[in-house]
């Protein structure tokens, strides 16, 4: 498994995870759970990279429960971060296509990709070994979406 694409982002990732930990200190239970879930998922990528873990293991550890709970209770994602993603929130070239999106649309895309990856794995004897999909690309896209959501929440945050 090759996670070279994560190599350059490991330093900023530690800072983002630290920020998300601080940001999760809120009274809004769904906001807290969403931020903690994002932090924990980014930690899975960081530790998966450091330990050269398999994509199978990484996908098994990713969570989307807080997102699905938030949707069930009609959580207002503007409380996570209001506004639209702008060029100043985007630090990775591949995320430019998300300019104009809001937190809810991006979180929904992250949830969709986690479900899709789990389903691909289940369809292939619970392993990504021998799958026809470009799993490395799908997982790196998922990581960069999560990082963008964290960067978006972080930018202009005064806490």
159, pLDDT greater than 60? no
Calculate the average pLDDT of the chain. 90
Contact indicator for 23, 159 with CB cutoff of 8 Å: yes
Q: Is residue 159 part of a domain?
A: no
Domain region containing 101: 4-154
Span 106-122, mean pLDDT?
Answer: 97
Span 87-116, mean pLDDT?
Answer: 96
pLDDT of residue 26: 78
Q: How many distinct structural domains can be found in the chain?
A: 1
Q: Is residue 18 part of a domain?
A: yes
137, pLDDT greater than 70? yes
Q: Please calculate the CA angle 13-18-20 and round it to the nearest 5 degrees.
A: 95
* Euclidean distance between CA atoms 127 and 28, whole angstroms: 37
pLDDT of residue 132: 95
Q: Is residue 92 part of a domain?
A: yes
pLDDT per position as a tens digit, 62-78: 999 999 999 999 999 99
Q: Tell me which of 85 and 3 has the higher pLDDT.
A: 85
Of 12-21, 110-119, 142-151, least confident by mean pLDDT is: 12-21
String of b and e for 63-96 (b: at least 16 CB within 10 Å)? ebebbeebbeeebebeebbeeebeeebbebeebe
Q: Is residue 102 part of a domain?
A: yes
Nearest residue to 155 via CA among 90, 110, 101, 75? 90
38, pLDDT greater than 90? yes
Nearest residue to 31 via CA among 70, 84, 57, 88? 70
What is the token pair recorded at 1? 């498994």
């Amino acid at each position: 498994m090759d996670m070279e694409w994560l190599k350059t982002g490991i330093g900023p990732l530690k800072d983002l995870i630290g920020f998300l930990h601080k940001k999760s200190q809120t009274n809004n239970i769904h906001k807290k759970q969403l931020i903690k879930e994002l932090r924990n998922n980014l930690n899975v990528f960081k530790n998966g990279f450091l330990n050269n873990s398999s994509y199978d293991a990484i996908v098994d550890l990713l969570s989307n429960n807080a997102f699905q709970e938030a949707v069930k209770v009609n959580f207002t994602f503007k409380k996570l971060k209001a506004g639209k993603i702008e060029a100043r929130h985007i630090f990775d070239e591949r995320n430019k296509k998300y300019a104009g999106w809001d937190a809810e649309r991006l979180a929904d895309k992250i949830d969709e990709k986690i479900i899709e990856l789990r389903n691909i794995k289940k369809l292939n004897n619970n392993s990504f070994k021998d799958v026809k999909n470009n799993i490395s690309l799908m997982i790196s896209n998922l990581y960069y979406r999560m990082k963008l959501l964290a960067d978006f929440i972080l930018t202009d945050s005064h806490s």
